[in-house]
Amino acid sequence: MYGFISWLESTGFSTALRNTTWVWPTCESIHFVGLTMLVGAAVFFDWRLMGFMRQGPIAAAKAFMPYGIAGFALNLVTGTLFFVMRPSLYAFSAAWWAKMFFIVLAGLNAMLFETTLGARVLTLGRGEAPPASFKIVGCVSLLSWFAVLYFGRMLPYIGTGN
Partner 1 sequence: MLQGLQDSAFSLWVVGSDSLWAYPTILTLHTVGLAVIVGAAFVIDLRVLGVGRDIPLPQMRKAFGVFWTGFAINLASGLVLFAVDAVHKAGQPVFLVKLVLIAMAITITARIRRIAFGKTADATPPPGAARSLAAASLALWAGAIVAGRLMAYL
Q: Does 16 bind partner 1 (CB under 8 A)?
A: no
Question: Residues binding partner 1: what is the number (CB under 8 A)?
Answer: 34
Q: Of 33 and 112, which CB lies nearer to partner 1 in the complex structure? A: 33
Q: Does 3 bind partner 1 (CB under 8 A)?
A: no
Q: Does 162 bind partner 1 (CB under 8 A)?
A: no
* x/- map, 48-67, partner 1, by CB under 8 A: ----xx-xxx-xxxxxx--x
SS (H, E, C) the chain: CHHHHHHHHHCHHHHHHHCCCCHHHHHHHHHHHHHHHHHHHHHHHHHHHCCCCCCCCHHHHHCCHHHHHHHHHHHHHHHHHHHHHCHHHHHCCHHHHHHHHHHHHHHHHHHHHHHHHHHHHCCCCCCCCCCHHHHHHHHHHHHHHHHHHHHHHCCCCCCCCC
Q: Of 67 and 92, which CB lies nearer to partner 1 in the complex structure? A: 67
* x/- map, 29-48, partner 1, by CB under 8 A: x--xx-xxx-xxx-xx----
Out of 125, 132, 157, 162, which residue is the one contacting partner 1 (CB under 8 A)? 157
Q: Does 124 bind partner 1 (CB under 8 A)?
A: no
